[in-house]
Each structure stands twice: as C-alpha cells, then as structure tokens.
Structure 1
Amino acid sequence: MSDKKTLFLLDAYALIYRAYYAFIRAPRINSKKLNTSAIYGFTNSLLEVLQKENPTHLAVAFDPAGPTFRHEMYEPYKAQREATPEDIKLAVPYIKQLLDALNIPVLEVMGYEADDVVGTVALMAEKAGFEVYMMTPDKDYAQLVSDHVKMYKPRSKGGGMDILGIPEVQEKFGIEEPDQVIDILALQGDAADNIPGCPGIGEKGAKDIISKYKSIKGIYEKIDEFKGKRKENLINFKEQIELSYTLATISRKVPIEFNEEDLKVCEPDKDKLFPLLEELEFKSMMPRFGAPAPTPAAAPAMQGDLFGQPQVTETPGITSTFKTINDVDHTYYLVDNEQAYASLAAELSVQKEYCFDTETTGLDAISAELVGISFSWKEHESYYVPIPEGKDKAQEIINRFKLVLEDKKILKIGQNLKYDILVLKKYDINVKGQIFDTMVAHHLALPGLKSSMDFMAETYLGYSPVKIEELIGKKGKNQLSFRQVEIEKAKEYAAEDADITLQLKKFLEPKLKESGLEDLFYQTEMPLLLVLAEMEATGVKLDVDELNAFAIKLKERIVTLEKDILEIAGKEFNIASPKQVGEILFEHLKIDAKAKKTKSGQYSTNEETLNKLKGKHEIVDKILDYRGLKKLLSTYVEALPALVNPQTGRIHTTYNQAMVVTGRLSSTNPNLQNIPIRDEDGREIRKAFITSDAEHVFLSADYSQVELRLMAHLSQDEHLLRAFNNGEDIHAATAAKIYKVPLEEVSADMRRKAKTANFGIIYGISAFGLAERLNISRSEAKELIDGYFENFPQVKEYMDKSIEIARDKGYVQTVFGRKRNLPDINSRNGVVRGMAERNAINAPIQGTAADIIKMAMVTIQKELDEQQLKSKMILQVHDELNFDVDKNELDQIKEIVKKGMENACELSVPLSVDMGIGSNWHEAH
C-alpha cells in the first residue's frame, strides 16, 4: 500500500454473508449453541486487512433496518430476496460489539444502504487526500472507482484479493468510464436486488451495447440501429430501464459527516474485547492482545491465530491459501505414440479401478468432438492422450482404449461421468462395469453443497485446480477451443482433472459408507447414470411443423386479445408495459381503489396481484390470458425448435442427478418439468413430442398418487392403508366432499384440484392457503383440514414426529437413507422455521418417490437390454416415464414397464401405474 493516508471501507453484510456460507459445511457452534461462523469469519477477514494492508483509517458500513429510498421509489426492490438466516441476525450484534471493542467506527444511515454510505464517504475521503479501498465482493461498487478510490475484492475461489482500479474496471466490463457500470446494470437488471432491467438483455448483451453506445441515452439517440425483438423491448421498457438506472446508481449524497480523526485505526479497548472473546470462545485470539496464552485444551478445534494463516478447513474461500499445481510434486505424462498407447492400455487393463476424463470442443456432449482423454490410478500421477481432429484419425486412437473402457471388471471413476460417457458413445465406446461419479457421490453424501470439482478440491483437499479460463479465456467471441490450447498446458490441465477426481473418490467413498448410502449409490444412482446417458443419446423427436402451426394460432389469438383489451380500456396503451397496465387498471378504470402506488409511479401488476382481481373487471382476465399466451409462445412454442440438434433431428434434454436436494431429477435444455400441462394450451405443446416413425407408438406410464401412498406407508395410518389396499381413489373421494357431488360425478378438473388440496394438507398448508388455492371460504377450508386429520389421525402423528426428529438431528431421511439437512428447523424466525418444518414432512416423501422411480428406471432398462428390444425409454418427468415403443413390442413393453414400476420396492400399500398410448406425448398422457 501507499505511504499516503489509506482508508478501508468494509461492506459489512456482504462480508458477513460470505463468512457465514464459508462455514456452511461445518458451522462453528460454541458451547452455548451459538453459531459463530459469521462472527469468526468476518473478524478473521477484518484482522487480515489490518495486518496485511496496515491502513491508517478504517470503517465498516452496515445496511440499516427498514426500507431505504429505493424501496420508496420501487416497492418490489429486493422483494425476492430470501429471509436473512437466523444465525446471521444473531451474529450482527456481536460483530458490532467487536467493532466497538476494536474502536472501529460503524457507519449506518437510516434510509440508505451500505453502498451509498461507502460511496459518499469515499468521495469525501478522496477529496481529503486519501487512497480509498472499498472491501466488498459486490460488483456494483465498480461504478465508484476513480483515480484514488479502488475496489478491494475478495476472490470467489482460491483466497486472496483483487484490487480493481480504473484499468481493471475498464477491462472487466469493456467500458471507458467506471460510471458506465450503471448503464450496464440498468440494461441487464439484477435478480438479487429485483432490479428489472430490460427483458432479453443479459450481462454479455448489456456490456456489448454499452461498449458501442456508451450510455442509456446513447442507445435511444440511435434506437433505429436496433432490430427485431431487442428494439421492441428497448422501446416498450424504456421507463423500466430508466427506473433500473436510478435503482442501480449508488448515491454519493448521503447525509453523513466525514471526520478523519474518527476513522483512525487505534488500539482496541481490551476491557471490552477480552470478555467478549471469552464469551464467543475465541480464546486463541486473545494472546495477540496481551492476554496469557490458553492451554491447548482450551482452544476450540477450529480456531486460528489472530494474524496467522488459518487452516484450510477454517474459512475456505476467505482467508485460506490453497495449494496449486505449482506447489505439489506431480508426474503427468503425454501419451502420443504407438508404444505409449500400448503401454498405457496394458497398465490400465490390470487396474482394479482408474479415473478418466475427456476434453472436448464444447459443453454439449451430443455435438462436441473429443480432443483428449486423461487417465489416473495413482495420486499425483496421470496420463493424457491427445485425440486428433477428424473422426477417422480420432477413432483410430480411441480404439486403443476401447477394451479397457468396456471392461466390466474395472471400476471407472469420473466427475460428471455422464458427459464423458455420452461423448465416448459417438466413438462406439460403451463404458461398462461399475462406475463412481464424484459429483453424484458428493450430492448424496453431503447434500446441499456445490458439487463442482473446484469446490470439492478446495474444500476437502485444500487444492485449487487450474481454471479452464486460464487456458481458453473467458466466454465470448475470443474464447479458444480446447483444441487450440498448447499441448503442454492441455496435458497439465487434463491430467490434473483425472488426478484430483481420483483423490476426491478416496475422500467421498468413506462418507457414503458412514452415511449408510453405499447401496443407494452403487445399486441405484450409478446404474441410473448409465440409463440417463442412454436416454440423452436417444433423444426425442419433435414435430416442428406442429409447433409452427400452433404458433400461428397463438399469434392470432394474441392479436385478438390486444384488440379486445384496448377496446375495453377505451384508449391506446402498451399492454407489454407493466407501468402502463397499472395506470389503465387503477387510474383510468379505477378497478381497485386500494392499489398502492410507489414514488416511482408504478403499480404492481404481477400475476399474483391480477389473479386477486379476476372477476372484478373483464379486462383483468384478458390481460392475464394475453400474458399467458405470450409466455407460452416465447418460452416454449418458438424456443423448442431451436433446441433440435441438427445432427440428429431430435431434442436431447440433459438430466441432472446432482442438483435437486430432495433427490429428484431435473432437466435442462429444455426443462421438461416446466412444460405446462394444466390447461389445454399448455397440453398442446406435448403434441409436438412424437414417436420416431409410424412404426412406433408413444407410451406414457405415470405413478398414481405415489406421494400419498408413501404417506400411508410412512405414517401407517390404518384408514389410509385400508383405502389404498382396497383400491379407493383418495383424490376423487376428497373431491366429492369438497364439491358436494356424488363420487361418479367428480370431473377430471375437480379431481386435480382435490389432489392439490390433499397434498397441501399433509404438507402443512394453512386454512388460508387452502381456501385461496381452492377458492373456497376459510371456514370451509378449516373444516376440510380438521375433517382430514379426524379421519386420518396417524398422518398428523407422522407429521409431528418428522418435525421432532428434524429438530433433534438437524435432518430427515427417506426410506432408503437419503438425507435432507434442515439447518433452520430451530430458527427463532417463525416463517423460516415453518418452511423447515414443512420440508421435514415433505422431504422423506418426495425423496422416497424420487428413489423409487430411479429404481424402476434401472430395472426397466436392464430388461430392455437383456431382451435386446428396439423400444427406448426417452423421457422422465416427475413421476412419469415415457417410451418410444416399437409396435411389435407393445405388449411386452407394457408388461416390463408396469412390473418394473409397481415392483420397484415393497411398501405397506401397492404402487399403482396409469398407462396411456398414442402417436404423441399428449395422446399418451
């Protein structure tokens, strides 16, 4: 640092949150059951700054309680943020006490956020001759950077700090002046703060636009240079963009005095400090302030020295220094000739297990080309085989390893193995035998944490792997393909991946055993990985003509709705503008006299608000229909054809095994779970998912009431058990009660609503929530809930017991041992605790349902393979499996599927499967 006066301004909450989540895997809990993770991590970061940078002046800025001027301008500002964890709320008063004891001033101004306070003080300090450093991970602060004001930004990985001055901000954002960061934020918005921005413009698009047009004003001066949807959005959402600009601008006019004497770094008040450190049980810090050194037994296991380097396990990502490839002795071999190929293949053939990893030209396994493959079976020793361009040459080399990759006796290890397996399938390599995927193993053994290799390596091995961006550059037009990387660098990177993954396997395998999850992992999750790879490789055919025809119909209906809406309104306005819609509804038509208006002049017209106004005026229903059709058109009808792979003519969704904490599968590109099915328009989309040809039929098999059946099994409620074992339809019976109709008159729509009520009740829904969902009175909803528990008393007992177990253990489990951690189950915040309690009831049921369908998929695929059938399993959505069935195999497949799903496991009630057949997904379902 400079010899000049230096002022460090710390963004308190940003650093507190960072400290808290750094310890999330192993929270620091003292003898009084206080979670001190945030306090310890924040204090450690603060003291490292004092030691390393030796500033002359320092202050810490806090966000105040209550709304700020931005909330007054825009009511939804930060509305989507999750509630502050209870442990952080409890930590903040202690942190302020520590700052007081350390004689470090706290800056806090009602109505203004910490960044406004920092921005204002930084400006005044710069004018007073200071070098100012703003310590925060928040990118928004980049707008404040100037000649003498810099960001002091903690790195997201690997520890250490980045100092961002004007040149660094210019390079990072592709701009000329730091204040252009505001223009970028105004366009891209900020989901964390609920700043809307401009629809259709993300981070890259915003940077490109501001790089060219310099500012929001510059955009509108040359608006005619924009085309299509982007131009339309920039025009329609101009007011929203201008509002976003204001919200994203850090105020530098906060009413606060700047007295540099008050900010001077000085000696702590030991009379205040020592008792506080004693109370928090941070005793190893005390000797740094002249207190007697504690005996080793008195020091908590995870304490570190005041100014010393803490252990890796203490604060990963905050103050730890990770080892890298340059610090660890390793031997990575390049395998690039016939003799080396033969020698490596021979070595692999005698191993009980080895790790392998592929390097390719892209992230899409279906279209990516193989660039290299690495192998490792011994720590710090790996082999990299470069694969040349061109299918024939590549095939010639990869064939050298076909036998060892398909050897059933050898266990294969990898990180995100499904990707590697899919890539190798294109080269006629079908990986066989037992497999071990570290990503899935981590998700199962330590749920709720990131499962990336970098995170695991840093957290469990104290090692920071080479980042791919160091080789190919950041995303963008100048990013290289891995094939363009210098061979020596490619070898080090690829071989390291295999080496580190091998080490992670050795760490994770005992964790699975300790948790009793070995059977679930080896017998279900790993065989399922191979099933999913086969499904992704097969893909599903899409009728693009059907979607195009549907798009034309939707556009015609949208035009009609536009005319109707404008006619009802009696004046022209932009229906796509939330602000103008609000003005029409609440000022022009005066539909709701209680509608609140913020200082920005914008009413809330989101779906929730408009749904509450349905029936009050016909325009509301039509606006909701208009928005629904527009979303259907853009999100699905027009988007799905773009996802068809040109090489195969099919959609190849990606299934994610290590994403959903309950154990359910999710899918991306497209997200099949989100394809709407509740209305006829949504169901029309399923018509476009068709069979491979006229000789095949679409078979859909769906578990019937699986989660309620699991509730019967878990609760052992005698009435519920009897109902299912006698073949009664629980949802229809409930519907008959709700709608007061005979059982035989219950419609499909009534039954669907009753199903929502049934599941809502057993997952703790309130009478208010049930009344709102079913549009019935609260008294009727309460009567329904009371009646349910009266008829099924052991369900209530199960719910109470699940919550009790969660409070005692901090987690709940599925029938097969899958855990769901519930850290907020004992929160003092009723809302937060209530959510955790509902999860305590829901997770064992939902997680067991997920495990069951996975087991069924493994069993069914095994039968398809053993009987060498042509039919394929092609889609999995929620509790439903879908198949592209050869007509000649239909009866055989129906039997295999029904048996595989209904006999997946043994419960106290039978599992039941509904099956349908058609020429497309819609007909079959």
Structure 2
Amino acid sequence: MLTPDIPKKLFLLDAFALIYRAYFAFSKNPRVNSKGQNTSAAFGFTNALIDVINREKPTHLAVVFDAPGGATLRQGDFCDYKANREEMPEDIRSMLDPIKEIISAFNIPILLKEGFEADDVIGTLAKMAEKEGFQTYMMTPDKDFGQLVSENIFMYKPGRGGKPAEIWGVPEICEKFEVEDPIQVIDILGLWGDAVDNIPGIPGIGEKTSKKLIAKYGSMENLFEHTDDLKGKQKENVINFMDQGRMSKMLATIILDVDVEFDAEDLKVIEPNAEKIKELFTELEFRNLAKRVLGEEIVVTQTATAPSDENQLDLFGTTNNNEESTPAPESLKSLSTEKPSYHFVQSPEGRQKLLSKILEQKSVCFDTETSSLEARHADIVGMSISFQAKEAYYIPFPANFEEAKAILEEFNPYFKSESIEKVAHNIKYDLQILGRYGIEVEGPLFDTMIAHYLLSPDAKHSMDRLAEYYLNYETISIESVLGKKGKNQKTMLDIPQEEIVDYACEDADITWQLKELFEPEIQKDHLKSLFYDIEMPLVGVLKAMEEEGINLDIDGLATFSEELGESLEQLEKEIKDLAEEDFNLDSPRQLGEVLFEKMKISSKAKKTKTGQYSTSEDVLQKHKDDHEIIPLILDYRSLKKLKNTYVDPLPTLVDEHDGRLHTHYMQTVAATGRLSSNNPNLQNIPIRTEKGREIRKAFIAKDDQHLLMAADYSQIELRIIAALSKDENMVHAFQNNLDIHATTAAKVFKVNIEDVTREQRSSAKAVNFGIIYGQGAFGLAQNLGISRKEAKAIIDGYFEEYATIKTYMDEAVKNAREKGYVETIFSRRRYLPDINSSNAVVRGFAERNAINAPIQGSAADIIKIAMIKVAERMKKENVASKLLLQVHDELVFDVLKSEQEIMAKLVQEEMENAVQLAVPMKVEYELANNWLEAH
C-alpha cells in the first residue's frame, strides 16, 4: 500500500485521462476480442480501477467524466480552447458505455457536471472533502492538478514501465515545479501554455523559463509589473502577449466552486455486483480480470480466440519501447512479493531425490542457464526444473565438460521418457544445449513461446513480457544478474552459482505457469493439431538443420566481391562523367542536388521533410527513361547493396570450428506462419537479378562425395487458391498439368493457347500472382508498364473466366469482417483488428491480408508438414544425406552421391503427398554442386 491506511480516504479518478492512457498503451498491438472489438481502453481502465481498489483500499471512491457535448465555460471564454484535439478514436468511443457499465457494476458513482470539465468537478470535490476531514487522492496523469495539492490533497499518478504509482504531495509539487506553493503551478502553466489543451501561453517561454520566472517573481502578475527587468525578445513577447498570458492562466485554473454536492455516504466503497461484473467480463472476454475480481473462471464462447482478453498486445519482445505498454504496472508482482519456494540442489543425493519427483510427473518444465546465446558453443552452467507453480529447483553444473555431461546424464530417465512431456520457452535452444552434451530428448514437447505464437501471431513472445501481461509479474532482469549490456557485461560463468538460483528457478517457474494458462487454449480443436502435429515436431527438424549448417565457397565470394568492386568503380566513373561533377554518390542529399538542381532531370521533384530531394528507388524508377544516368544509378545501388549486405558479410558468419554457415530458424516471427531465419536471413537471398543469383553459387555441397539438391514446390500458392476457391477452370488446369499462365492468358485474351504470346503469358502470370496479394488495376499497371485502363480490362477478363475465385475473395473479406480473423487450411488463424476500420487505407490493407493470409499461411503449413515427413522418411530409410535449408517453398539437401536416386524419390514423394488437396502438389528438383545450379 502506497497511501496511508486511514478511515477517510477518497480517490477521485479522472476518467478520460485514464481511458486515453490505457488505449494508447496498446496502440501498436491492441487488445481485440473474438467479436473484433478493440477492448484496450476498457481493459486498461478496468485493470487500473481494480488495482487501486485492491492496493490502496480507499474508503470512498468516484469516477469523474467530462460532460458529453456542449461547450464548457473555458470554451465560452476562448473559442480555441482544446480546438486542436483530434476527434475521439472510434475504438475509445465504442468502449465508453461498457466502461460506465463496469464502473456501475462495481457500485462506484459516476460524476459529471454540464458545462464543466472533470478537472473542475474533481477540484471542487477535493476541496469539499478536505473540509470534511478526508485525505483525497486525485488519480490522473494530468500535471494541471498540481495546483490543487495541499496537506490533505494529493496527486496519484499511475506508474509506468513497471514502476509504482507516484504520489505527489506539497513537497513533491514544489520540487518538480520549482515553486514555494502549489498554487503557483497555475502561473507556470499560464506562461508555459499547454499544447494538448491549446492553451497558448506566451511565445518563447517554455517549461524551464516559466519555472525560473515564477521562482524569481512569484506570480505572473508580479512578472508583468517588472517587465523592465527583462531583456530582448523575451521582454518583447511578455509585453506584447500579456493579455494572452492572463487568458492562459485563467484557462489553466481549475474551477473550485462547481455546483456539485459532496455526500460522503454516496461515495462509500461497497461490495460490487458480482453477477453484473461476470456478465460484462464474459461479454468483453476479460478472463484474467474475472479471476482476479470474482475468484473464478468465466466461460467465454468465442468465434475467434485471441485468446480472450489478453493476447493482442505489445508486451512481448524488445522492439516496442513504449513504457506504457502494460496498464497499471504499479501492481506488478515480483519475487519479493510472491516468496516462491526455490531450491538449490547441489548434492548427488539431492539430484536423485529431485529425479524421483520428476519421474512421478506427466509434464515437467526445464530451462538451461548457459555461457552464450550461441547454442553450438555454449557451456551449460545450470538447469532449473519446475512442475508446480511457485516451486522450482536449480541444479548447478561444473565447468568441466565431462563432469557436466555426467550430471546431465543422471536426468536421462526424464529426457528419454516417452511419457513425460518436456516444457520450455524456446525449447529448440535448450534441446541444442543438451545435444551438445550428447543427449537427444525423446517424448512429447510443449514450447510456451510457440504456443503463444499460435494464440496471438502478431504479438511478441518473450517470457518476460508474457509474465507481465498474463501473470501480472515482473521477472528478474538479466542485467540485474550479469550487469548492463555491453563489452563489460559478464556471462553466467562469471556469476557465483548461489546468485543464479532465483533467476534460473524463476524462469522455469514462470514458464510452467504460462504453460498452465496456454495449454487449455491449445487443446481447442482448431489449434490442437497445428501445435502438436506440425509446430512441435518441426522443432527437432529445425534443430538438426541448424546444427548441420551448409558449406560456403569463401574464395568464390572473395572473387565475386572484387568483381563487384570493379563494377562499382566503373559505374561511379560513368555516373560522374554524365553528371560532369565529382560528388558523393552514396549521399542522397548530394545526389538529389545533382539530379534535380544541376541536371534538372525533373521539374516536379519533391523534397522530403528534411529539405532534401528524395532519391528513393521508387522515385528513380519513375525517371529511368528520362536520362541515361538513372539506370546507372539504380545499377550502382543494386550492386552496392549486394556487396555490403550479402557478399562481404556472409564469410564472416562462417563458424570457425567447422567451416560451415549455420543459420537460425525462427518459428514465432512471421504472423503468416512462414519460417524466418537470421545470421544470415536466407529468405532475402536475391534471386531476381543475374548478379543476385550469383550469391547462391557460393552455397556448395559438403565435399566431392555430395551434391546439393533443391526441391521446390511449383506454383504452390496458385494451387492453394484453386483448392480453396474450388474454381473449376483453375482446378482443371492443375489436374491436367497445363501451363497455368498460358491457360490463363488464353482465357483472358480470348485466343487459342498455342497462339498466346510471351507478353500475354507474362501479363497473365502477373495477374495470377497479383491476385493472391489483392493487387488492383493500379498495381498491375505499374508492374506491367501499361495504362490503368488496360490493367483493369485484364483483371475484369480474369474474373470473368475465374468467377469462383472472385467469389472466394469476396467471401474471405466478408467472413473476416464478421469473425475478426481468417484461417488457413490447417486452422492457423490470422487476426485482423483493422478489417472494419473507418480508415479506408488501413481497412484496405486488412482486406488484402484477409485474401492472402489463408493462402500464404497454408503454403507455410504445407512445407512444414513436408519437412517433418521428409525428415521422418530419411530417418526410416537410414540415409546419410541431410536436410540443410528451407527458403520459401524450397528445401535444400546435402545428398550423398550414392543416395541420389533414393533421395530424389523420397523427397518428391513426401513433398507432393504432404497433404491431399483438390489439386495435385507438384515438386521440381535438381542436383548440382552448388545451390544456383540446383535451383
């Protein structure tokens, strides 16, 4: 409890300030329930309300709103007051009634007064309550309330980023505003102004200057009487804008004589209406809040699972630095508040006793602490175990490899058990650590990171963030153990084992608790097979691929780098000769000035916000026919990117121990379900240009006894849309192994298939693939270099021949609007919170996703299934060949030359028969010494 436990403690909540704060805390990843409602504002506000009731235990409480509609007194005096505020977001407006219903269900009075703002009502009530002997806390982030603070009136500012709430009394206000009396806050605001409320203040006087002036002169009025003391522009502004200053002070002054009644009896905190709360929380799908308030689970009937109230938010990972991403962080639990039972298991007897307990369980969580994030070279430092919430065990390991291995082997009965489920967060890493010590885990797996990814694919999935959100728990930061990031940061090897215990046990404990939360959702029909039959078996396949790596022709890349360097030098010379000027070609500013000021290539060239001409690729492409210098610049940039992004960095990523390149595959990044990779990102290896394709030439077979085999699904996304739409024309084309692009061209252009020209086939191909991504006439026109009218005619002709595809696309968007999500063939869901947005651009993007996500996601699922089946068959056939890479719709293998025939047959069969659709899957493959020739 932050506030004192006294018999008369009144909390007055500034409703809209808290509602807006909650809503924008989730702006990047809003909370969306199964009905497609954005519940961010309602959830965040309710969470804050519950926290303040539970934590601060007020005796009296009220929520104060601005009166709806009508002008306030301030707007009557100053018509521009709050004039620059944007219209209330629809997602807030739609939650106002539910929020008010929730407040009423808690039996908390809602107060407002026509013609006045919430600030005025709160100020008046606070002063009235003070006279009645109350200590009053104004819960708001608004600095204006500082003027009201007194011995018995406080500001209660909600905390941010895991920090507790701040309580500002007289000392805090005087310190923060550098005043002697809180009433002087009005003078500071009058000079400073307030951009949010459009209070103008006096030009040239900001926060620091206003504080200095009031500290010296005591008040705005006294300052105005001593303008002779001022100098220069400041003096001029103060004299010229005195009236504006006085008006600003008036606008910033909170009214304290609003005609409202203070009836302490009406404001008493009483028991909430549990039945009504249950009804509202069920409707809004606030499961965790229901459990906190009612002490029971609520049953939510969902048409989509997100899951329930809490998975569409940006609490996960490091990309979002919004410090308000967790509502009411002052309530976060931690190790110190929970006091879990964590055990340091050091002796052989202790380990055996723990193992006996493990073998009695059906499911056990484990987590490894290591010396490095690079699993292939990491040493195990310790291992934590948990199979019950708030209880965990930590086993330390010696630095000696063989001794550590011996301790790990003691736990083989657990690791090798076919009946005990192994639980971890990012389990692939832990499996790789164990594999380094010769332990191959068997039996069922449960990865909480992947489970959450399936439940909320657009969110982030780090354990720390999930703990904050789902468990309302702040974990021990790694920096508190190892020190701040940087060259001086320690590793786990540098930390005494006893100092690792709590950190390691907490990881296992929290992961176990997350597993208990996620498992019921994963068990639902639409996710069960996706998780247990696809994503979990894939973990082992990816682990093996990462460990195997691939050979890289470093000498070949060095030669290619030299060639690119020579080409870049030649291009740079030609460009500068044409420009008749020596300038930095890599400087967008200098390039823009040369092209558009000196050479005057375009009179319509636009400058960016920074004041320089845009020389982006899009801009240059529009001018490529205007001057011969433009294609040269585009070539220069393309080769420069190739050299700096791929050719030169790739050799630096080769492992010095085995001379192979080991990429890292990630299952939880792409919301569509596709795999991602990094170090290097193989998905972006260029393929469209001749020079770009040369990079693939550097990926080579293991040795002269091996060849690389690349097996690629042919037109998989078109086959999927044919199967999903059941379009007879397209299904017939694929079932009869026809050239789908030529067939499409013949139909669209009304010619015999043998008369289709190369240009017509190219146009048909562009439409076939463009349709998948929701491309319209404008996009097609740009791609083909034709008029929009011609593009529209082609698209109209396409839908005339493939009418069922058009129907499918329309239905996909319609269903997404109703359900809030779309699904792949295998029930992978993609939530589309913007599908009903009033913003046409935002809505259009969601509509294109509604069409594309099921297709792209189904293709991702199919190749994952194929990888699993291929790996199982390779194991069954006991081949020495290895699966190395997965890139888009392609698998790459190191094939022993003596196994060429069996591998070609095996791979083609398993990939083509991974799933059974209305159209056949077709796989094409090649074998060669390098990836380029095998592709």
Structure 1 contact 822–836 (Cα < 8 Å) conserved: yes
Q: Helix, strand or coil for the counterpart of 2:919?
A: coil
Number of residue pairs matched by the alignment:
755
Distance in 2, Cα, partners of 1:618 & 1:134: 62
Q: What's the CA shift for 1:453?
A: 1.4
Which of 24, 33, 40 is residue 18 of structure 1 equivalent to? 24
Contact 1:371–1:389 (Cα < 8 Å) also in 2: yes
CA distance in 1 between partners of 2:377 and 2:458 (Å): 31
**Residue equivalent to 2:251:** 262
Q: Are residue 87 (structure 1) and residue 91 (structure 2) matched?
A: yes
- In structure 2, C-alpha distance between the alignment counterparts of 1:63 and 1:12, rounded to whole Å: 21
In the TM superposition, 1:720-735 aligns within 5 A as 720-734=730-744
Q: Does 1:612 align with 2:612?
A: no
**In structure 1, distance between residues paired with 2:918 and 2:692:** 36
Hey, what does 2:858 align to over in structure 1? 848
Query: Bigger CA drift: 420-429 or 14-23?
Result: 14-23
Instruction: Name 1:317's counterpart in structure 2.
Output: 326
Q: Distance in 2 between matches of 1:441 and 1:600?
A: 44
The answer (yes or no) to whether the contact 1:45–1:318 under 8 Å persists in 2 is yes
Residues 762, 795 of structure 1: 8 Å contact kept = no
Question: Separation in 2 of the partners of 1:102 and 1:486?
Answer: 58
1:534 corresponds to 2:582 = no
Q: Tell whether 2:840 aligns with 1:825.
A: no
Structure-2 separation of matches of 1:263 and 1:866 = 78
Q: How much does 1:351 deviate?
A: 2.7
Give the stretch that moved more between structures: 489-498 or 789-798. Answer: 489-498
Among candidates 152, 156, 164, match of residue 161 of structure 2: 156
Match of 2:777 in 1: 767
Distance 1:415 1:392 in 2: 26
Question: Residue 283 of structure 1 corresponds to which residue in structure 2?
Answer: none
Q: Which runs of 5 or more residues in structure 1 are unaligned?
A: 2-7, 67-82, 106-132, 137-151, 166-251, 275-285
Instruction: Quote the offset at 1:631 in angstroms.
Output: 1.0
Contact 1:12 1:62 in 2 (8 A): no
Question: Residues of 2 paired with 1:62 and 1:310: CA distance?
Answer: 38
SS of alignment partner, residue 645 of structure 1? coil
Residue 595 of structure 1 pairs with residue 605 of structure 2: yes
Partner of 2:800: 790
1:667 to 677, 685, 690: 677
Q: 1:643 to 1:161 in 2, by over 3 A?
A: farther
Opposite residue 161 of structure 2, the aligned amino acid is: S
In the superposition, relative to structure 1, how do residues 158 and 406 fare at CA in structure 2: closer, same or farther (>3 Å)? Answer: farther
Partner secondary structure for residue 358 of structure 1: strand
Q: What's the TM-score, normalizing by structure 1?
A: 0.73
Kept after mapping to 2: 8 A contact 1:457/1:500: yes
Seen in structure 2, the aligned counterparts of structure 1 residues 756 and 135 have a Cα distance that, compared at 3 Å, is: farther
Q: Name the CA distance, whole Å, in 2 between partners of 1:25 and 1:819.
A: 16
Cα distance, 1:551 vs structure 2: 0.5
Amino acid in structure 2 at the alignment position of 1:102: E
> C-alpha distance in 1, partners of 2:525/2:848?
24
Looking at structure 2, the residues matched to 40 and 264 of structure 1 have their Cα atoms a distance apart, in angstroms, of 32
1:471 is matched with: 481
Question: Is 1:642 matched up with 2:669?
Answer: no
What are the superposed Cα offsets for residues 83-130 of structure 1, whole Å, 9 maximum, x if unpaired? Answer: 9986369889999x999853549xxxxxxxxxxxxxxxxxxxxxxxxx
Distance (Å, rounded) in 2 between the aligned partners of 1:376 and 1:402: 17
Q: Which deviates the most, 624-633 or 38-47?
A: 38-47
Alignment partner, residue 912 of structure 2: 902
Describe the superposition over 1:701-737 as per-residue Cα deviations: whole angstroms up to 9, x where unpaired: 1111111111111111111111110101213444678
Residues 548-587 of structure 1 correspond to what in structure 2 (within 5 A)? 548-587=558-597
> Which residue is 2:494 aligned to?
484
Q: Letter of the aligned partner of 2:669 in structure 1?
A: M
> 1:325 deviation in Å?
1.5
Amino acid in the other structure paired with 2:117:
L
- How far apart are the structure 1 equivalents of 2:605 and 2:777? 25
Task: Give me the whole-angstrom Cα distance separating, in 1, the residues matched to 2:114 and 2:629.
Answer: 56
Counterpart for residue 931 of structure 2? 921
> Which of 708, 713, 716 does residue 698 from structure 1 map onto?
708
- Pick closer, same or farther for the CA change 1:26–1:785 going to 2, 3 Å: closer
Report matched runs for 1:361-372 at 5 Å.
361-372=371-382
The code of the aligned residue for 1:876 comes to: Q
Q: Counterparts of 2:743 and 2:39 in 1: how far apart (Å)? A: 51
- Using a 3 Å threshold, how does the CA distance of structure 1 residues 500 and 642 change in structure 2: closer, same or farther? same
Q: Against the structure 1 CA distance between its residues 44 and 154, is the aligned structure 2 distance closer, same or farther, given a 3 Å change threshold?
A: same
CA distance in 2, matches of 1:748, 1:689: 33
Q: Describe the superposition over 1:491-514 as per-residue Cα deviations: whole angstroms up to 9, x where unpaired.
A: 111111111211211111110123
Relative to 1, partners in 2 of residues 1:135 and 1:571: Cα closer, same or farther, differing over 3 Å? farther
Q: Deviations over 1:738-793 (max 9, x none)?
A: 99999689999997775443121243211111010121222221111011111111
Deviation (angstroms), 1:824: 1.1
Offset from partner CA, 1:317-365 (integer Å, 9 cap, x none): 2214122122224222212222223323333234322111111112121
Q: 1:607 to 1:316 in 2, by over 3 A?
A: closer
Letter in 1 for 2:91: D
Contact map agreement 1:582 1:603 (CA 8 A) in 2: yes
- CA offsets 1:203-238 (integer angstroms, 9 cap, x no match): xxxxxxxxxxxxxxxxxxxxxxxxxxxxxxxxxxxx
Which residue matches 2:728? Answer: 718
Instruction: State percent identity of aligned pairs.
Output: 44
Distance 1:158 1:465 in 2: 13
Tell me which amino acid in the other structure corresponds to 2:160.
Answer: R
Give runs of aligned pairs for residues 263-282 of structure 1, distance below 5 A: 263-265=252-254
Q: Is the 8 A contact 1:687 1:922 kept in 2?
A: yes
Report the Cα distance in structure 1 between the residues aligned to 2:392 and 2:50, rounded to whole angstroms: 40
What CA distance in whole angstroms lies between the structure 2 residues aligned with 1:88 and 1:589?
Answer: 52
Change (3 A) 1:582 1:21: closer
- The one-letter code of the counterpart of 1:913 is V
Counterparts in 2 of 1:5-404, with a 5 A limit? 15=21, 18-21=24-27, 24-25=30-31, 35=38, 37-38=40-41, 41=44, 87=91, 101-104=116-119, 155-157=160-162, 160=165, 257=245, 259-265=248-254, 301=280, 317-320=326-329, 321-404=331-414
Change (3 A) 1:310 1:349: closer
Residue 419 of structure 2 corresponds to residue 413 of structure 1: no
- 1:449, CA displacement in angstroms? 2.3
Instruction: Compute the displacement of 1:845 (Å).
Output: 1.0
Distance of 2:425 and 2:327 partners within structure 1: 25
Task: Please give the per-residue CA displacement for 1:459-500, whole angstroms capped at 9, x wherever unaligned.
Answer: 222322222122112211221212222323311111111112
* Residue type at the aligned position of 1:19: A
The answer to whether the 8 Å contact 1:103/1:265 transfers is no
Is the CA contact (8 Å cut-off) linking 1:287 and 1:293 kept in structure 2? Answer: no
SS in 2 for 1:571: coil
CA distance 1:581–1:815, shift in 2 (3 Å):
same
* Residues 767 and 795, structure 2, Cα contact 8 Å, conserved in 1: no
Q: 1:679: Cα distance to partner? A: 0.4
CA distance in 2, matches of 1:902, 1:682: 29
For residues 689 and 895 of structure 1, the distance between their equivalents in structure 2, rounded to whole angstroms, comes to 23
2:523 alignment partner, SS class: helix
Instruction: For 1:886 and 1:287, locate their aligned partners in 2 and report how far apart those are by CA, in whole Å.
Output: 85
Structure 2 unaligned spans of 5+ = 3-13, 67-73, 75-79, 101-111, 121-138, 143-156, 173-236, 295-308, 311-323
Give the SS at the match of 1:883.
strand
Provide TM-score, normalisation by structure 2.
Answer: 0.73
Cα distance change on mapping 1:805 and 1:917 into 2, 3 Å: same
Aligned-residue Cα RMSD (Å) equals 4.5
Distance 1:557 1:134 in 2: 62
Judged with a 3 Å threshold, the aligned counterparts in structure 2 of structure 1 residues 331 and 597 are, in CA distance, closer, same or farther, namely closer
Shift of 1:595: 1.1
Question: In the TM superposition, what are the counterparts of 1:453-472 in structure 2 within 5 Å?
Answer: 453-472=463-482
